[in-house]
């Protein structure tokens, strides 16, 4: 089982992505006609409270990587995919911040589909006089 505690020890954005990527394995089963359970969960007051805590903890940064601020449209990603049974039984792990991390929409899709081309472009750290010969 992957954890946030382990994720934040990984030094680069690319390595964090590799740690989280699912290569198209979204979940053991899809929600189909039970999507109402998924929607009920994501609109609950408890989820909204945990979501806000995770955003503050991660400073709104993509994969909690400093300098990769998301701005609008933050998605809270379940590090370990949620399945129908988790929602039906309200498994406490779906609310555990150690299994959650902030992502942008692009990064979230890249994690689920294993498509690196969806990742935001790498920001080059600039320094004073770095363009001078």
| Structure confidence by residue, pLDDT tens digits, 89-124 | 889 999 999 999 999 999 998 998 877 877 877 655
Higher pLDDT, 48 or 85: 48
Residue 50 lies in a domain: yes
The candidate with the shortest Cα–Cα distance to 17, out of 113, 82, 99, 126, is 113
The candidate with the shortest Cα–Cα distance to 78, out of 119, 17, 20, is 20
What is this structure's pTM? Answer: 0.82
Residue 36 lies in a domain: yes
Pairing of β 100-103 and β 75-78: antiparallel
CA-CA distance, 80 to 115, in Å (whole number)?
18
Kindly report, residue by residue over 19-66, the tens digit of the pLDDT: 999 876 554 455 555 677 778 888 999 999 999 999 999 999 999 999
Residue 125 lies in a domain: no
**Confidence (pLDDT) at 7:** 97
Residue 10 lies in a domain: yes
Residue 86 lies in a domain: yes
Residue 91 lies in a domain: yes
Domain around 14:
4-118
List, in sequence order, every residue forming a beta bridge with 124; answer none if it has no partner: none
CA-CA distance, 10 to 39, in Å (whole number)?
32
Structural domain count, the chain: 1
Cα angle 104, 110, 111; round to 5: 90
Residue 14 lies in a domain: yes
């Amino acid at each position: 089982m992957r954890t946030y505690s382990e994720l934040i020890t990984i030094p680069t954005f690319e390595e964090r992505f590799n740690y989280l990527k699912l290569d198209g394995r979204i979940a053991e089963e899809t929600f189909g006609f039970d999507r109402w359970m998924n929607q009920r969960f994501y609109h609950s007051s408890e989820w909204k409270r945990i979501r806000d805590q995770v955003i503050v903890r991660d400073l709104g940064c993509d994969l909690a990587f400093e300098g990769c601020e998301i701005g609008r449209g933050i998605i809270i990603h379940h590090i370990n995919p949620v399945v129908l049974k988790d929602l039906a039984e309200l498994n406490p792990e779906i609310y555990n911040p150690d299994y959650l991390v902030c992502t942008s929409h692009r990064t979230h899709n890249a994690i689920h589909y294993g498509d690196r081309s969806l990742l935001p472009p790498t920001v080059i750290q600039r320094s004073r006089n770095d363009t001078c010969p």
